[in-house]
């Protein structure tokens, strides 16, 4: 048995478990994504620097969205409105739970609930802002909140 197993029994070689392997793969993917975004970012900056009149071309391209872009924005607006409706129903219930926790003296629970409420309200504000931008660019009736 002394020479039949190679790998984990050798000195200095460790066995990698499935969980560790998945963590390493995630890290490699993250490194690749960051490297790719940095490479594209540098190319994008170089492309903008090399253009002679980027402001006029960019301004006209972003001012008039295509029909496909507006259709995509409409779909997003519908989703945002659905989520805002759910949030509007959830926030009062959460505030009641927060008040109940405060009255019972559960400060840690109250702090967690307050943190969740703040996060949902922040997302709701972001959604409203995005709906306003969609409405301004595409002039849709769906995105008016």
Measured CA to CA, the distance from residue 139 to residue 81 in angstroms comes to: 16
Measured CA to CA, the distance from residue 50 to residue 94 in angstroms comes to: 53
> Tokens 């959604």 label which residue?
127
Instruction: Give 50-61 pLDDT, tens digit per residue.
Output: 554 444 444 444
**pTM beyond cutoff 0.95:** no
Could you tell me the pLDDT band of residue 143, with boundaries at 50, 70 and 90? very low
> Tokens 């253009």 label which residue?
51
> 130 Cβ partners below 8 Å, 6+ apart?
76, 80
Instruction: Give 63-95 pLDDT, tens digit per residue.
Output: 577 888 888 999 999 999 999 999 999 999 999
Residue 129, token pair as written in the block: 């802002």
Residue 47 CA neighbour count, 13 Å, CB half: 7
- What is the DSSP annotation of 34-79? HHHHHHHHHHHHHHHHH-SSHHHHHHHHHHS--HHHHHHHHHHHHH
pLDDT for 7: 53
Q: Do 106 and 40 form a contact (C-beta atoms < 8 A)?
A: no
Measured CA to CA, the distance from residue 82 to residue 88 in angstroms comes to: 10
Instruction: Give 2-61 pLDDT, tens digit per residue.
Output: 555 555 555 665 666 666 666 767 777 776 666 666 666 554 545 555 554 444 444 444
pLDDT for 60: 45
Instruction: Give 97-133 pLDDT, tens digit per residue.
Output: 999 999 999 999 999 999 999 999 999 999 999 999 9
pLDDT for 46: 52
pLDDT for 102: 95
Residue 145 CA neighbour count, 13 Å, CB half: 22
């Amino acid at each position: 048995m002394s020479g039949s197993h190679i790998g984990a029994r050798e000195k200095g070689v460790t066995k990698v478990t499935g969980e560790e392997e998945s963590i390493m793969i995630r890290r490699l993917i993250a490194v690749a994504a960051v490297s790719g975004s940095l490479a594209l970012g540098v190319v994008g900056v170089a492309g903008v620097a090399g253009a002679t009149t980027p402001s006029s071309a960019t301004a006209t391209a972003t001012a008039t969205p295509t029909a496909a872009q507006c259709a995509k924005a409409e779909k997003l607006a519908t989703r945002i409105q659905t989520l805002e409706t759910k949030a509007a129903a959830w926030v009062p219930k959460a505030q009641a739970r927060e008040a109940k926790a405060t009255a019972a003296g559960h400060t840690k629970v109250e702090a967690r609930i307050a943190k969740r409420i703040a996060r949902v309200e922040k997302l709701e504000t972001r959604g409203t802002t995005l709906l306003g931008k969609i409405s301004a660019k595409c002039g849709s009736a769906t995105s008016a909140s």
